[in-house]
């Protein structure tokens, strides 16, 4: 036993469980920030094809004016290069998007729709490339739990 280790009663809590509990107990604005950071982390480690899919999903609920105001207009430029009305993010464009840009995009998306991030969980869960990503696993767990909580509160309002 390591004498420098803190003395915790019982087992050490897994990181994903700790994140989920911290998220669940946080104020809504902190939860939104945590989600944005998690999506940014997942984006950072995702292969470029998945980055493109994530950007397409996140950009879809926003209009051009909103896209212009995020990250110095990088998402509006991507939108204008894409065919209209279909949105296709090219891999070269996805590679030019920084994590901070994705975080800013997620922050704006959350203002538009509570449900807008739900599809991110589906994209990640369907990707075998992200199966070994701890950040993706935590993000999917948080998003699924968030959706369940929202459905229950909508079904049984207080």
Q: In terms of residue numbers, what domain contains 92?
A: 29-147
Is residue 3's pLDDT more than 50? no
pLDDT reported for residue 19: 80
The answer to whether the Cα torsion of 92, 98, 103, 109 is positive or negative is negative
Residue 50 lies in a domain: yes
Q: How many domains does the chain have?
A: 1
Output the pTM of the full model: 0.83
Burial class (CB in 10 A: 0-12, 13-18, 19+), 54: buried
Is residue 5's pLDDT more than 50? no
pLDDT reported for residue 23: 84
- In 5-115, where does DSSP find H-type helix? 15-25, 28-45, 48-59, 64-68, 74-81, 91-96, 99-112
Of the candidate ranges 60-64, 127-131, 154-158, the one whose mean pLDDT is the lowest: 154-158
Is-contact 31 77, C-beta < 8 A? no
pLDDT reported for residue 2: 46
Q: Model confidence at 73, in pLDDT bands (50, 70, 90)?
A: very high
Residue 13 burial (CB count, 10 A):
11
Residue 4 lies in a domain: no
């Amino acid at each position: 036993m390591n004498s420098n280790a803190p003395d915790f009663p019982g087992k050490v809590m897994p990181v994903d469980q700790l994140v989920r509990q911290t998220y669940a107990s946080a104020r809504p604005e902190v939860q939104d920030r945590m989600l944005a950071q998690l999506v940014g982390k997942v984006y950072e480690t995702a292969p470029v094809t998945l980055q493109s899919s994530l950007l397409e999903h996140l950009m879809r609920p926003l209009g051009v004016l909103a896209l212009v105001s995020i990250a110095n207009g990088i998402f509006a430029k991507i939108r204008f290069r894409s065919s209209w009305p279909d949105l296709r993010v090219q891999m070269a464009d996805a590679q030019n998007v920084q994590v901070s840009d994705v975080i800013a995009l997620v922050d704006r998306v959350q203002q538009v729709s509570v449900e807008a991030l739900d599809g991110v969980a589906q994209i990640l869960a369907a990707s075998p490339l992200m199966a070994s990503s701890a950040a993706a696993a935590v993000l999917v767990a948080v998003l699924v739990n968030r959706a369940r909580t929202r459905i229950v509160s909508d079904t049984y309002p207080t």
